[in-house]
């Protein structure tokens, strides 16, 4: 009974995260049920922690996160921090316009109270024709601002690649005149 209660709390918390993300992308997904599959899970009721381990898959509509480990911590203010880790942890979703977005990182963390998504360790985010890579990428859902940071060494850099749009075969005219 207690395990079912904690699972319901964890799922409701994931729904709250999803609702805040819905303003930015994939709104229909966040009205769908959340399913978490893992090889094992455990709950620390006293410390308000839920942990899902080994081959973790979170599915909600077209949104999918795959990780080795997922930890959900509830704060005193009833907000949650979600941290998915893996080699890498992978996020995929189809946006409202039908285009896919994907991200991979050693750690994907979302702070519900601050509305901050932090991807860290070997980060790669791909959307449409663009790719951003770095040691850390932070996205603020409230301000819709993204920051990409390099790693600790001087040789680490942030790389952003914008691919040109493909011309249609019917239009062989140059795009710049």
Model confidence over 41-89: pLDDT tens digits? 999 999 999 999 999 998 888 888 899 999 989 888 887 888 999 999 9
Q: Is residue 82 part of a domain?
A: yes
Q: Which structure tokens are listed for 161?
A: 């690649």
pTM of structure: 0.70
Model confidence pLDDT, tens digit, residues 85-126: 999 999 888 877 888 889 999 999 888 778 788 999 999 988
Secondary structure element (H or E) that encloses residue 8, with its range: helix 2-22
Range of the domain at 119: 28-162
Q: Is the pLDDT of residue 30 over 50?
A: yes
Q: Does a structural domain hold residue 100?
A: yes
Q: Is residue 39 part of a domain?
A: yes
Alpha-carbon distance of 84 to 69, in angstroms, equals: 6
In a domain, 167, yes or no: no
> Terminus-to-terminus CA distance in the chain, angstroms?
69
| Mean pLDDT value across residues 28-33 | 72
Q: Is 137 domain-assigned? A: yes
Tell me the CATH number at 102: 2.60.450.10
In a domain, 108, yes or no: yes
Domain count, the chain: 1
The answer to whether position 170 is within a domain reads no
Residues 6+ away with beta carbon under 8 Å from 170: none
Judged on CB neighbours under 10 Å (0-12, 13-18, 19+), 66 is: middle
């Amino acid at each position: 009974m207690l395990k079912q209660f904690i699972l319901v709390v964890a799922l409701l918390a994931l729904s709250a995260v999803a609702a805040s993300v819905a303003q930015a992308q994939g709104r229909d997904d966040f009205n769908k049920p959340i399913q978490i599959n893992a090889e094992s899970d455990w709950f620390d009721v006293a410390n308000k922690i839920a942990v899902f381990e080994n081959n973790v898959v979170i599915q909600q509509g077209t949104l999918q996160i795959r990780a080795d480990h997922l930890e959900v911590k509830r704060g005193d203010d009833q907000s949650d921090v979600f941290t998915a880790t893996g080699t890498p942890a992978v996020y995929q979703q189809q946006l409202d316009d039908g285009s896919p977005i994907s991200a991979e990182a050693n750690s994907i963390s979302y702070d519900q109270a601050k509305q901050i998504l932090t991807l860290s360790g070997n980060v790669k985010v791909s959307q449409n024709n663009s790719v951003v890579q770095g040691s850390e990428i932070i996205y603020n859902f409230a301000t819709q601002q993204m920051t990409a940071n390099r790693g600790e060494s001087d040789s680490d850099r942030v790389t952003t690649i914008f691919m040109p749009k493909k011309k249609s075969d019917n239009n062989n005219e140059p795009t710049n005149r």
